Structure 1
Amino acid sequence: MLLRFVLSHIRLANALLILAFCAFQSAYAQETPSPDRSVQSYFDQALVLKNQNKIDRALEVLNQAAELAEKNEDEKALVDSYHRFALLYLELDKTDNTLFYWDRAKVLLNDIAYPYGNAVHKYIEAIVLYLQDQNFQAIYMLNDAKQLNNDRNLLNNILLAEANIYMNIEKYDSASKNFNSLVVNNDVYEKEYLATKAYMGLARLNEKTENWEETIKSASGALALAQENGFSKEVFEANVLLGRAYEKVQKYDLSLVHNRNILQIKDSLFTIEKVKTEAKTADKIQFDFMNDEIRRQDEKIEELNESANRSEITAILTSAFLTIISLLAVSLYRNNQIKLKTNDLLQTKNKELQNARDAAVQAMEAKTNFLSTVSHELRTPLYAVTGLTHLLLEENPSENQKEHLKSLKFSGDYLLNFINDILQINKIDADKLERLSIEFNLKKVLNDVISSLQQSAKENRTEIVLEYDDEIPSHLMSDPLKLSQVFMNLIGNALKFTKNGTVTVIAKLMKKVEEDVTIYFEVKDTGIGISKEQQKSIFDSFEQGSIQINREYGGTGLGLTIVKSLLGLFDSTIQLESEFGKGSSFFFELNLKSKDSLVDDIPFEITQKDYNLKGLHLLVVEDNKINQVITKKMLSKKDITCEIASNGTKAVELANENKYDGILMDIHMPGISGDEATRQIREFDKEIPIIALTAISLDDSLENFYAAGCNDVVTKPFKPEVFYQKIGENILDKQIKNTTS
């Protein structure tokens, strides 16, 4: 009797709860998912509807996807459904609903291995943080998401989110790069929508900087795409921007046209009926979810009721459960009051901590930007020094002059190495270094480094010995450039402090399991050694042991710091053994991948060609007058004629009006930059070879140059043979290829 009484009251409470929700909702039948359709097809349809601002229909379609995923017991598809619900509720400004589905997805992710699902989870968390104005935390969360999965559509949406955050914190250059890369995206699912959003972002960015012509240009691009694809929300936003921009440039007739468009769109897009429908659909779906939970609980109670042996236990447990629930309700109310007060205090402290952290981040960025700017600005005059020295050495100077010029060349190379070290440390501090994974031959890398340092060894009357284990596979996968930097610093350091002695480079295979290889490396010398006290700080920046050592041997004291940081990218640690006056030994281990299936006679070295560059006619884009003279002189040495453009705007104009065999493009210029000029040239000439000729800085990325349309990059100051080689490879080889094809 007690059991029937309790169960009847529970059912009555459930019925009342359902009736209360039904009174609030406009009940209508839910279409069941078609068995012939896949979950992905529902996702695709919901995405199209969402981008067209048909949120109510998108929610209905997504609900069908969730039902099908649950029916198929497909946990990953169910996670994806919850994530898409969360994103749709963000469109409706229903953050609580977003967090509800985000939490449901989190519960499932705790029990399954799903990298893509975890990446989207962090992406949604980043968007919520951004909406709460926690910009830096949002950026870090987006970086975490990128590390988990490389899905192109997700990465493009992350790129868009980063751009909006950068614009919010007034990092306009970074925001512009992201928006520009999305304008020409190749996304499989949202190509036009992402391009529309990118144009809108550029329009808002230019509005912030009061560049009204560019605002109009970008907003017009967004409007055209939005109208073509039915993106009604973006059509409205583009008209708003164009109305304001045309008013600023005093084109009031055009401003009036767009303002009238806004009124018409408001009547159709933001009607009370539409808002009500979206709210009803959103609330109904969540209500159905809760109703299903109640139904499942009823089924469990019925199962227990059918078991006669458990009837008395069930009654006791039910009574206890109701009592506990009552006590918990009172306790939760009291705790909630305490929590509210605590939250106020925590929010205050949180804001204080966030302000302090933002100030620290800004200080670090200021330091990084300053050093990056200094490094870049030093490279430009250094290009003049090294370039003029090269030209003078080729003009048959007298022996006395030759000696002075060689000293000047040595000083220029020394200064360049110093600048490179500072730039490298900056990149490490700014966490802008990434490890590549490409095929290379380790023995060749070590031999190349040793060959480049033989002159230093000869000057110190020191022998370099390579002890190389022939059991090491010839084809390895890793980052040969960064490994070269490690050994260049270690061997160069050993040579600097060793005279009339020996520097030994050891590479030994420790173990090999299938394609996993562990190699032991050691660089030891018979030089001056390092005392126990000095060893404690030898890997710190600008540390050389003592002032006396610095004065006698020179250098920046950054070499070992760079080595330590670079090896950190390989998850390896540098170790040191040394005795003062008896030499030093630096050693570490690396875990690499081998490629046993490749044939050993594959060449690892590109043969240098001696190109005949006579008769080529190039466009040189360079704003520095001295650099113009040097570059033109170096070209004339090879019988190459050229025309000079002093800025990016002039370069675009000349490239459009004249015929050139190729373009040498400086990147950092006043007005429009070199990569922007390249993008504009590519709009009317897809084929002309463009070589970026630039003093690369910390914020520069080679990928950005290639994305803009450059065929190759030469960094200033450069070696003349590299300069001529790049011209031949990108211009002559391409001409030959086009002729034969």
Structure 2
Amino acid sequence: MTIPTPLQDMLAREKRARLRAERLYEQVQRELRAANERLMQHAYALSDQVIAQREALMRARDRAESLEGANSRYSQDLSLANERLREAVETLEDGFAVFDKDQVLILANQAYLSVFRDFPEVQPGIRYRRIAEICAFEGVVLLQDIAPEDWVAMMMARWNSPTIAPVQLDFSTGLSVRLVERRAGNGDLVSLSNNITETLRYQSELIAAQQKAEAAAETKSAFLANMSHEIRTPMNGVIGMAELLAETDLDDEQRSYTETITSSGQALVTIINDILDYSKMDAGKMELHPEIFDLEKMIHDVLSLLTPRAREKSIELIVDYDMFLPARLIADPGRMRQILTNLVGNAVKFTESGYVLVRALGMGSSAHGQMVTLTVEDTGIGISREHQDRIFTEFSQVEESASRRFEGTGLGLAITRQIVSAMGGNIWVESDPGIGSCFGISLELPLSPDPGPLGPEPLPNTIRTVLLISDHLISREIIARRLQAAGAKILTATQSGVALRNIINARPDLALIDQDLGTEPVDTVLAELRAHRDALPVMLMSSDMSQARDLLARGDVRAVLPKPLLWRDLLAALGTPAPAPEDHDQPPVLPEPTGRADITFRVLYAEDNKTNQLVFSKMLKGLPLDLHMADNGRQAVADFGALHPDIVFMDVSMPEMDGREATRLIRATEAGRDVPIIALTAHAMQEEIDRIMGAGMNAMLTKPLKKSELLSALRDHAPPGLFPQAD
């Protein structure tokens, strides 16, 4: 059957519409399912969020509860800490307070408030100024002659100062505090009152104890000075008379007695000097007086003084002076001489045979001068290791038994150590018992502006070969080394046979002979040399000038050089035809007056001790002098006005008027302004010496008086033209 076309079109449209509706329905369902899915996922997410928020809320609630508990604990801890802080502040013996930036007291302990117990208003809330006013106007604080308003102004000025200085407050109750105040970062002021009452009391006791100790030290020094004076005064008579007696005609036994008296007296004076030196150092009164001095010459001078004692024991004294060490340095020459005398004197004392060698070495320069090392070596008894640790202590000796062989105070090395320490140096010792000892010191000494030549000074051009005759190995090697450095060829010999072979074969230009030859007498060696070469210049190195004088007088030698050999002595001898030997052991002799023969040379000597007057007059016996004695200072002033002496020797300690006052009165006169006045004293303390020289003395001689020193002072201070000056 055929369906009409319009119907077919309508059915087709309906079919298409239905298909579209089905597709739309399917699409809507799909969208609905997707929406439902999204809604479900959103619901799940919301559910998870709600659960998470619920859990977070639970955690927050738990945390809040925990924090609330912690806060409670912290509050309790803070309260406990504050309580402990308050208790700690209250336990302080010192006052503690805090003011805010507006000067209001916000905290104070009882130690701070206790001094204001009579003023109830002093409590937290009071201002700083009001507290200062109470202290000043109510008599709480002793103001030490400061007006109350000025004291308050001073305390307020401290408050406003950027840096608050501590101040001491003395309260009327007897309490003393040191007020220390500091400003905090927020402007608060922290005030601490340190109780110094006991400290001041202890300090006062210390000051009193120090004054007592100083008074005791002064008393001890005065006692020692007086004892020195009392001992030296009679010793002046003993030693002076012994010295004068030695100049008379004596047989051997009498001369032995006289020398024993002299040496014993000098030993006693040495002991006195050691005790006085130790006393001065112990009291901290040792002073150093640096000046330019010749170190090489000083070493030889010290050894020259000790030569007689060394010669008695056949000990060879040797010097090894560094050729490149300057001779002129700066130090206290008196103390340097004392150091060397103590060390070399000990070496000679504790050495029975062998040698004592003094070395002076330059150890380089520094910013302040020259590093110098001095060593003193000996072949003596040595020192055991256990004794080495204490030999530099006071009153300590190597042998301490009652039967010890070597005498002495045991102060020499202790004094030496203190001198070296005061000069900024070090001292040490190396020793082996039975072999010997080596004492050394190291010092840093400034150089003189003119330190002298460095290096070996050359010999004259005519001296090319030198024959050195000596049987002492060390001494010979030191001299030979110095001669070689000066450009000479050295021939050495220990006896005449070898010396003759050298003379014949090498024909030297100079012979240098040691007088102390152990193999044969030096006279024999000289005779052999003269027999084979009479024109050979010969110089003798001698430790006993009295024995060498005959050789020089006979013309057997050209010059006599003191041992140990000083290089400048050799050069001087080579530059002079035939110099006479210098006898250091003999006192200087005043020549006859010249130029003023018509004028009497008057000497006034003020001395209350009759023995000392006798010694003085005998020492000047035979000289062309008009000597007058005064028994005290008052008489000396009167005699000066009547006699008008050319020179005055003034004892310091005299009755009625002492030497210082007498000197001042003489200086006050027209005639006494320029006259030389020489002090004579038995005092040896530096304070006393300063007072003596401050009275107007030209120089000072120390008792016991030596004739050589007296004559030197007389020569040096005589008016010009009366006595010719010695070179």
**Matches of 1:475 and 1:578, distance apart in 2:** 31
Q: Partner of 2:620: helix, strand, or coil?
A: helix
| Aligned counterpart for 1:611 among listed residues 590, 596, 603 | 590
Verify: 1:512 aligned to 2:365, yes or no. yes
Could you tell me which of 660, 670, 691 is aligned with 1:675? 660
Post-superposition offset of 1:669: 1.8
- What secondary structure, in the 3-state scheme, does the structure 2 residue paired with 1:353 have? helix
Deviation at 1:670, TM superposition (A): 2.4
- Counterpart in 2 of 1:634? 619
8 Å Cα contact 1:476-1:595 kept in structure 2: yes
Higher strand share: 2
CA distance in 2 between counterparts of 1:573 and 1:623 reads: 46
> Radius of gyration: which is bigger?
2
Question: For 2:678, which of 650, 668, 691 is the aligned residue?
Answer: 691
For residues 301 and 184 of structure 2, the distance between their equivalents in structure 1, rounded to whole angstroms, comes to 82
Secondary structure of 1:553 counterpart: coil
Q: Distance in 1 between matches of 2:208 and 2:256?
A: 58
What is the SS of the residue equivalent to 1:547?
A: coil
Residue in 1 that maps onto 2:636: 651
**Equivalent position of 1:707 in the other structure:** 694
Instruction: Tell whether 2:315 aligns with 1:462.
Output: yes
1:560 Cα deviation after fit: 0.7
Aligned AA (1:424): D
Residues 70-120 of structure 1, C-alpha deviation per residue, up to 9 Å, x if partnerless?
xxxxxxxxxxxxxxxxxxxxxxx99799xxxxxxxxxxxxxxxxxxxxxxx
Specify the alignment match of 1:725 in structure 2: 712
Secondary structure at the counterpart of residue 397 of structure 1? coil
**Structure 1 residue 408 corresponds to structure 2 residue 393:** no
Give the TM-score normalised by structure 2. 0.54
Q: Is the 8 A contact 2:588 2:711 kept in 1?
A: no
- Partner Cα separation in structure 1 for residue 617 and residue 204 of structure 2: 57
Assess if the C-alpha contact under 8 Å between 1:435 and 1:479 holds in 2: yes
Quick one: which of 290, 297, 317 aligns to 1:437?
290
The Cα offsets for residues 605-658 of structure 1, whole Å up to 9 and x where unpaired, read as 999974336642111111111111211222233232222211112212222233
**Contact 1:475 1:594 (C-alpha < 8 Å) held by counterparts:** yes
Q: 1:657-712 deviations in whole A, cap 9, x for unaligned? A: 33111110001122332112111111112111101011123254433323211111
SS of 2:719 mapped into structure 1: helix
Counterpart amino acid of residue 557 in structure 1: G
Q: 1:619 to 1:526 in 2, by over 3 A?
A: same
Instruction: Tell me the amino acid that sits aligned with residue 692 of structure 1.
Output: A
User: Displacement, 1:427?
Assistant: 1.6
Aligned counterparts of 1:295 and 1:418: Cα–Cα separation in 2: 64
Return the letter of the residue paired with 2:591: N
Equivalent AA in structure 2 for residue 709 of structure 1: G
The answer to whether the 8 Å contact 1:503/1:525 transfers is yes
Q: 1:427 to 1:387 in 2, by over 3 A?
A: same
Give the SS at the match of 2:320.
strand
Separation in 1, partners of 2:253, 2:101: 108
SS at match of 2:430: strand
| Pair 1:363–1:550, CA change in 2 (3 A) | farther
Residues 1:478 and 2:463 aligned together: no
Q: Distance in 2 between matches of 1:375 and 1:295?
A: 60
The answer to whether 1:355 aligns with 2:334 is no
Q: CA deviation at 1:736?
A: 7.7
TM-score, normalized by length of structure 1? 0.53
Relative to structure 1, the CA distance from residue 548 to residue 609 in structure 2 (aligned partners, 3 Å threshold; closer, same or farther) is closer
Deviation, 1:498, is 1.1
The alpha carbon displacement at 1:355 in A equals 3.5
Alignment partner, residue 535 of structure 1:
388
Query: Retained in 2: the 8 A contact 1:635–1:641?
Result: no
CA distance in 1, matches of 2:161, 2:321: 72
- Compared with structure 1, are the counterparts of its residues 343 and 736 closer, same or farther at alpha carbon in structure 2 (3 Å cutoff)? same
Identical-pair percentage: 32
- 2:315 corresponds to which letter in structure 1? T
CA distance in 1, matches of 2:441, 2:154: 60
The letter of the residue matching 1:647 is N
Please tell me whether the aligned partners of residues 633 and 659 of structure 2 are also in contact (alpha carbons under 8 angstroms): yes
Task: Describe the superposition over 1:42-65 as per-residue Cα deviations: whole angstroms up to 9, x where unpaired.
Answer: xxxxxxxxxxxxxxxxxxxxxxxx
How many positions carry a matched residue from both structures? 439
The change in CA–CA distance for 1:570 and 1:293 in structure 2 (over 3 A counts) is same
Give the aligned partner of residue 446 of structure 1. 299
1:278-306 Cα distance to aligned partner (Å, 9 max, x none): x99x979x989998997999xxxxxxxxx
CA–CA distance in structure 1, aligned partners of residues 674 and 211 of structure 2:
45
Tell me the secondary structure at the aligned position of residue 363 of structure 2.
strand
The verdict on how the C-alpha distance between 1:345 and 1:500 changes in structure 2, with shifts beyond 3 A counting, is closer
Displacement after TM superposition at 1:8 (Å) = 13
Find the counterpart in structure 2 of residue 60 from structure 1: none
2: distance between equivalents of 1:693 and 1:548?
39
Question: What amino acid sits opposite 1:349 in the alignment?
Answer: Y
Counterpart position of 1:188:
none
Change (3 A) 1:734 1:692: farther
Gaps of 5+ in 2: 1-99, 105-128, 134-141, 164-182, 458-567, 573-581, 594-599
Q: How does 1:189-228 map to 2 (within 5 A)?
A: none
Q: Could you tell me how far apart the structure 1 residues matched to 2:313 and 2:144 are? A: 69
Q: Which residue of 1 aligns with 2:230?
A: 377
SS of equivalent residue, structure 1 residue 594 = coil
Determine if contact 1:613/1:728 at 8 Å carries over to the other structure: no
2:468 maps to: none
Distance 1:435 1:9, change over 3 A: closer
* Alpha carbons 1:613, 1:640 under 8 Å: kept: no
Structure having the higher helix fraction is 1
For the residues of structure 2 that align with 1:731 and 1:480, how far apart are their CA atoms?
Answer: 26
Q: What amino acid sits opposite 1:718 in the alignment?
A: L
Larger relative CO (CA 8 A, sep 6+): 1 or 2? Answer: 2
Is the CA contact (8 Å cut-off) linking 2:684 and 2:702 kept in structure 1? no
